[in-house]
Amino acid sequence: MLYPDMFKVFTCKMEIEYNSTVKVQTIQAPAIMIQNEFMAVVEEVARATYPVRVKLSREVPVYSQFDRDWLERECSIEFRNNAYISAYGEAV
């Protein structure tokens, strides 16, 4: 069964941090393709022996009853491999 929003295109930002360098990539694709790309990167990073952090984020409109206006808020998920946690700890 196909859902109406199944092929809706989202714009996300993927950040990959390693060796104190952050590379940012903008992705425009349906949600399932973005999920598959993120999971593939996470699986690769999990096997890496050097510290790597991966973050996928996008802006989501949220209605603020206080401001009575739509505000953009970041929605994100982040993965850090064991080497990253050993080197930098779990805190941001």
Q: Could you report the per-residue pLDDT of 71-83, keeping only the tens digit for each?
A: 999 999 999 999 9
Domain for residue 3, yes or no?
no
Domain for residue 4, yes or no?
no
Domain for residue 2, yes or no?
no
Domain range for residue 14? 9-88
Q: What is the pLDDT of residues 10-38, one digit of tens each?
A: 999 999 999 889 999 999 999 999 999 99
**DSSP annotation string for 30-76:** EHHHHHHHHHHHHHHHHH-SS-EEEEEEEEEEEEETTTTEEEEEEEE
* Predicted TM-score (pTM) of this structure: 0.84
Domain for residue 1, yes or no?
no
